[in-house]
Amino acid sequence: MSDRPKGLVRWLTTTDHKDIGILYLVTALFMAVFGGAFAGLLRAQLSAADLKVLNPDLYNQFLSMHGTVMIFFVIIPALAGFGNYFVPLLIGARDMAFPKLNALSYWLVIPAAFLMFGSFFVQGGAAQAGWTGYVPLASRQFSGTAGVDMWILGLHLVGLSSILGAINFLVTIINMRAPGMAYFKMPLFVWTWFVNATLILFATPVLAGALTMALTDRAFGTGFFRPSEGGDPLLWQHLFWFYSHPAVYIMVLPGMGIVSHVLPAFSSKKIFGYKGIVYATAAIGVIGFMVWAHHMFTSGIDPRLRAFFAFMTMVIAVPTGVKIFSWLATIWGGQIRFTTAMKFALGFIALFVMGGISGLTLAVVPFDVQVHDSYYVVAHLHYVLFGGSVMALLAGVFFWFPKMSGRILDEKLGNVIFWLIFLGMNITFLPMHWLGIVGMARRIYTYRPEFEFWNQVASFGYILLFAGGMLLLYNMFKTLRKGERAADDPWGAYPLQRTLDWSVSSPPPVENFAKIPEIA
Amino acid sequence: MKKIRIFLLSGFVFFGFAAIGWADEPITNWLTSPEGPLARAVRSNFYFSMAAFLPFLILSEVLLVYAIFRFKAKPGGQAATFHENLRLEVLWTVIPALTLAVTAIPTFKTMRAMEVPPKSDLVVAVIGHQFFWEYRYPKYGVQFAEEAMVVPAGKVVTLNLSSVDVVHSWWVPAFGVKQDANPGRITHAWFQADNPGRYKGQCAELCGKLHAKMYIDVNVVTPEEFEQWLMKKKGAAPPAQAAGSQ
Ligand code: HEM
Ligand SMILES: [Cu+2]
Ligand SMILES: [Cu+2]
């Protein structure tokens, strides 16, 4: 402990999984401020018809960067942050398998972020082709300036970061479990990261390949995606979604893992159907690779493919449903304590069910054809990503903050934060379902006047979200400076759950355990 | 405090339903009056699947809210200890799976209807440009751009879509049609509008700066009016030099 460097040097040179976890989380929080600010600009522009807050070029830049940043620089790093901090702790290991590689994974995110944010300042501005970067719009011919190149290189770097991280997680989980910790004794958060790392390992290299092809098309005039050279723009869509569909599970599985710790802890019960949840997680991982073309139902793919992907999309709803019912059964008959973490976990269920069911309606191809690329999809994706990933992350923040900092976040403020975010989220995104059904296309900087009312409502919701976010930051700063000290097991979670995170001091010592625990 | 919460929650639920029932002159009304057999099939498929899925949404949310109020911790209260129940777990795997199998049937039927048009009365080539649409009626040697597409009511119109630059998507909600227009390949769609009128839509795939303004208008006219319109079009602009953009 004593020979650890202090201050800035510690954070720049650390290879301790806990420090790296915190670095990831702080980075994600910082990025979320930007991603959230971009969202605010979009909502400001859309708060009435024909406004001129942003011109179309800027709207498309902020739109593309909002999506990219939220996914690749907020949710994925934040989950990696919790993963880094807690996976070794939960399996009774002293660190990740490859601590230096772990540090490298984190540090790759920083130049990637510079490329992304820096692109606003180059000539022509940031990429404008959406976070999906569809070609030919993202090709040199239609996006000639450096923005898309920087976007591609930035994604390359975060992709590499995830792949290295995934290898590390897999080796750690396979090799470094404490004696006695069989696979079916691993806490669910570890399980979700296990499946998640596998997903990353299979999916992310495909993204890297696709990005490389796009880059050579742009830089060297190859024709992977150009019909005049025998290429095909649809190839990009297939490759992109082959990554990005599993990516939505990459963004939600660890969140489900967090929730699977929070719900039992505050219901004073064991998780219901542990094995069922494990199997469901694995099933989602496998089937998740067989649904990507449901993002392409209107693209003109072969009808037999449409039928297959519609069917598989329905199939994947089944294991997802199993999890939801298992969580409900977990709180059923419990003694529920409504801490802020628990509220976020319950809010997660409420919102994720909504996003799941709207996702199911999108598997119904004729309906998807009506609402694809409309605001219905914007509503759906935010119910999943905000209502799913972000709510779970916030549950994790309130749940694990005492473990990581030694201080408990203010629960009174926490209550206000929860309600601002929960109501704000619904007021912002619920009306978007209706907007999409009646015909408002997505990714538009302005709209016909008949869509104005619900857009005003949505923009009002953003104000609540903004207030909630600011209050959360305030709560963190305040708590770090003079918050109430946390016991080793502030929630009383250990006696029933026996997860090792609560068995060590808050914060845990360097190397976590004086003596590696034996699991009975 | 508790009252306020219940009030907020129920206000919120009400708000949700109000949102579904309310539309201020939407550009389409495929839900209230879908135009033509295809749009009607899409709507019934939508209602059928909603009827199948909504119970699961409502059931989960109701159970959740019930549990929140019912199982609040009480001093000295004892939590139940069950954490497994094979029968329950099989049940909540099998019932959703069966429901989905049942909804798949009408879905596949409607998909077939979308993919296999009845005998075509009019073929129109739809070509996407940044940021306008070009239409060609090969049989009549008519082509034009940046104006409303004109089609006869009650006839089967088949579309061959493509693009000269980036991906666009031709979307007229009232007809139940959305189909991407890709460079380098031709995609297909069809519709049959029964009632004359002006139908609106817009491009549904991000295609660049003015994507938001890439509107679609379709004038559905009586067959006689359609003939007149064709005559006028042919007289006014010989096909060889039509479509100002090309
Ligand atoms: C602060 C609350 C948020 C607001 C007000 C907001 C608002 C928006 C808006 C207005 C759009 C543009 C939709 C369009 O024109 O198609 C959008 C797109 C998107 N948002 Fe958010 N958003 C928020 C939070 C998030 C979060 C937390 C995520 C994280 C996962 C996220 C991910 C996305 C993605 C992936 C897109 C799609 C971008 C695209 O269409 O290319 N958003 N959001
Ligand atoms: Cu377009
Ligand atoms: Cu467009």
d(CA A44, CA A222): 40
Token representation of residue B142: 């008519």
B149-152 and B215-221 strand pairing: parallel
Rounded to a whole number of angstroms, the distance between the first and last alpha carbons of chain B is 67
B142-145 and B132-137 strand pairing: antiparallel
Q: Is A387 in the pocket of ligand 1 (CB under 6 A)?
A: no
Residue-level pLDDT at A171: 98
Q: What separation in angstroms does the CA of A432 have from each of A14, A494, B20?
A: 44, 42, 10
Kindly indicate the confidence band of residue B246, based on its pLDDT and cuts at 50, 70 and 90. very low
Residue-level pLDDT at B33: 80
Give the lowest-confidence range in A37-46, A296-305, B4-13, B168-177: B4-13
Give the lowest-confidence range in A251-260, A442-451, B3-12: B3-12
Residue-level pLDDT at A5: 83
Token representation of residue A54: 């942003």
pLDDT tens track for B3-46? 666 665 566 555 555 555 454 445 567 888 899 999 999 999 99
Q: Is A378 in the pocket of ligand 1 (CB under 6 A)?
A: yes
Q: How far is the CA of A63 from the centre of ligand 1 (A)?
A: 8
Give the bridge partners for B216, in sequence order.
B201
Tell me how close the Cα of A323 comes to any Cα of chain B, in angstroms.
10
Cβ–Cβ contact B229 with A under 8 A: no
Tell me how close the Cα of A363 comes to any Cα of chain B, in angstroms.
9
Burial of A111 (0-12, 13-18, 19+ CB in 10 A): middle
- Average pLDDT over chain A, rounded to an integer: 96
Q: What separation in angstroms does the CA of B233 have from each of A413, B61, B149?
A: 68, 58, 12
Residue-level pLDDT at A85: 98
Residue-level pLDDT at B5: 60
Q: Is A62 in the pocket of ligand 1 (CB under 6 A)?
A: no
Which of A34, A65, A66, A397 has most ligand 1 atoms within 8 Å of its beta carbon, as the pocket-test mutant? A66
CB B26, CB A439: distance < 8 Å: yes
Q: How far is the CA of B45 from the centre of ligand 2 (A)?
A: 28
pLDDT tens track for B127-176? 999 999 999 999 999 999 999 999 999 999 999 999 999 999 999 999 99
- Average pLDDT over chain B, rounded to an integer: 88
DSSP state of A516: P
CB A127, CB A143: distance < 8 Å: yes
d(CA A61, CA A66): 8
pLDDT tens track for A153-194? 999 999 999 999 999 999 999 999 999 999 999 999 999 999
Burial letters for A318-355: b for 16+ Cβ neighbours within 10 Å, e otherwise?
Answer: bbbbbbbbbbbbbbbbbbbeebbbbbbbbbbbbbbbbb
pLDDT tens track for A99-131? 999 999 999 999 999 999 999 999 999 999 999
d(CA B210, CA A67): 19
Kindly give the interhelix angle for A452-482 and A411-437, rounded to the nearest 10 degrees. 160
d(CA B50, CA B43): 10
What is the DSSP code string of B130-169? TTEEEEEEGGGTEEEESS-EEEETTS-EEEEEEESSS-EE
ipTM: 0.93
Q: How far is the CA of A223 from the centre of ligand 1 (A)?
A: 32
H/E element, A407: strand A407-408
Residue-level pLDDT at B178: 97
Rg of the Cα atoms in chain A: 22
Residue-level pLDDT at B18: 54
Residues A243, A247, A253, A255: what is their CA dihedral angle, to the nearest 10 degrees? 160
Cβ–Cβ contact B87 with A under 8 A: no
Q: How far is the CA of A237 from the centre of ligand 2 (A)?
A: 17
pLDDT at A424 over 90: yes
Give the bridge partners for B218, in sequence order.
B149, B199
Q: Is A75 in the pocket of ligand 1 (CB under 6 A)?
A: yes
pLDDT tens track for A470-479? 999 999 999 9
- Which of A328, A378, A336, A329 has its CA nearest to residue A353? A328
Asked whether the beta carbons of residue B19 and residue A430 sit closer than 8 angstroms, the reply is yes
What is the DSSP code string of A411-467? HHHHHHHHHHHHHHHHHHHHHHHHHHHTTPBSS-SS--GGGHHHHHHHHHHHHHHHH
Residue-level pLDDT at B28: 61
Q: How far is the CA of A441 from the centre of ligand 3 (A)?
A: 9
Q: Which residues on A lie below 8 Å from B69 (Cβ)?
A: none
Rounded to a whole number of angstroms, the distance between the first and last alpha carbons of chain A is 29
Give contacts of B 124-143 with A, CB under 8 A.
Answer: 130
E-strand stretches of chain B: 122-129, 132-137, 142-145, 149-152, 157-163, 168-172, 177-181, 187-191, 197-202, 215-221
Residue-level pLDDT at B242: 44
d(CA B26, CA A439): 7
Q: Which residues on A lie below 8 Å from B74 (Cβ)?
A: 335
3-state secondary structure of B199: strand
Which of A58, A382, A390, A433 has most ligand 1 atoms within 8 Å of its beta carbon, as the pocket-test mutant? A382
Question: Which of A346, A373, A452 lies closest to B169 in CB terms?
Answer: A373
Token representation of residue A285: 């991982």
Q: Is A326 in the pocket of ligand 1 (CB under 6 A)?
A: no
Length, in residues, of chain A: 520
Kindly indicate the confidence band of residue B234, based on its pLDDT and cuts at 50, 70 and 90. confident
Q: Which residues on A lie below 8 Å from B85 (Cβ)?
A: 272-273, 329
Average pLDDT of the residues in A343-353: 98
Residue-level pLDDT at A4: 78
pLDDT at B241 over 50: no
Give the lowest-confidence range in A419-423, B20-24, B74-78: B20-24
Q: Is A393 in the pocket of ligand 1 (CB under 6 A)?
A: no
Give the lowest-confidence range in A287-296, A493-502, B230-239: B230-239
Kindly indicate the confidence band of residue A450, based on its pLDDT and cuts at 50, 70 and 90. confident
- Which of A175, A177, A257, A247 has its CA nearest to residue A210? A247
The label of the residue with tokens 């970067």 reads A133
CB A243, CB A199: distance < 8 Å: no
d(CA B126, CA B135): 5
pLDDT tens track for A213-238? 999 999 999 999 999 999 999 999 99
